[in-house]
Structure 1
Amino acid sequence: MFTYERKIPVDMDCGITVYMQVLGAKWKPCIIDMINKGYQRPSEMHRFISEASPRVLDMQLRELEAMGVVEKHTGSGFPLRTHYTLTDLGMSLVPLVDAIDNWGKKYGERIKQAIAETVA
């Protein structure tokens, strides 16, 4: 059986590397923000993050669950209803996600302009 071995080891002593392992995927900060704001069902998240496919959102939710950032809850009855909540670890990420969101709002126009100039 083939097992993947990284060519470059991950330095988990570096705080930024740890952060990137948890939130480095495209939609993970958005998922944490959505759950924190009360959008806890996968279908609700997909409605607000329509650029992400349901498969990608599910995959990133599973990764966040495996790291202990979110907790999955499945109700009884039919149809089954699944929702997610933030764990204490997930709640500790909310100020970071908020800071990133605020930075993006503050400097978004400048970054858009720089990208447009680079592409032109």
Structure 2
Amino acid sequence: MRDENFCRSQCPFTRAIGTIGNKWKPIIINVIKERRLRFGQLDAIIPMITRKVLTQQLKEMEEDGIIQRIAYKELPPRVEYSLTEKGLAFLPILEQIKEWNLKYETDPIFGATA
């Protein structure tokens, strides 16, 4: 799913989009925010994503240092995901995107801005 050409670009904006620029990663980051969540919780909170894609996105974000995967040595095994410092630094950007959307979104029924 990751476009390696974007991630290796000389342009910082293009590299950033290569890291977080698909439809699921910002949603996952927004859901995790400042708490730890298990895979099943993420799967339940984001029902439109397949488990395969969720697994892939979590793995890529862990490789990129956006989230950390914490595995507990318990039976049954337990794994939790949380944001790293790098992931937490993205939260204000997500907040600005939400504010932009609220300001300029179009009502799907009436066609007017909210």
2:52 paired residue number: 55
TM-score for both structures, normalised by structure 1:
0.76
2:14 paired residue number: 17
2:73 paired residue number: 76
SS at match of 1:109: coil
Change (3 A) 1:39 1:104: farther
**Residue 95 (str. 1) matches residue 92 (str. 2):** yes
SS at match of 1:12: coil
Identify the match of residue 23 of structure 2 among 23, 26, 44: 26
Q: Would you identify which runs of 4 or more consecutive aligned residues in structure 1 move more than 4 Å?
A: none
In structure 1, stretches of 5+ residues that fail to align are 1-5, 115-120
1:64 corresponds to which letter in structure 2? Answer: M
Change (3 A) 1:37 1:47: farther
Q: CA RMSD in A?
A: 2.2
1:105 paired residue number: 102
Contact 1:75 1:81 in 2 (8 A): yes
**Residue 64 (str. 1) matches residue 64 (str. 2):** no
- The structure richer in helix per residue is 1
Change (3 A) 1:106 1:42: farther
Q: Give percent identity, aligned residues only.
A: 29
Change (3 A) 1:39 1:85: closer
In structure 2, stretches of 5+ residues that fail to align are none
How far apart in 1 are the matches of 2:12 and 2:102? 24
TM-score for both structures, normalised by structure 2:
0.79
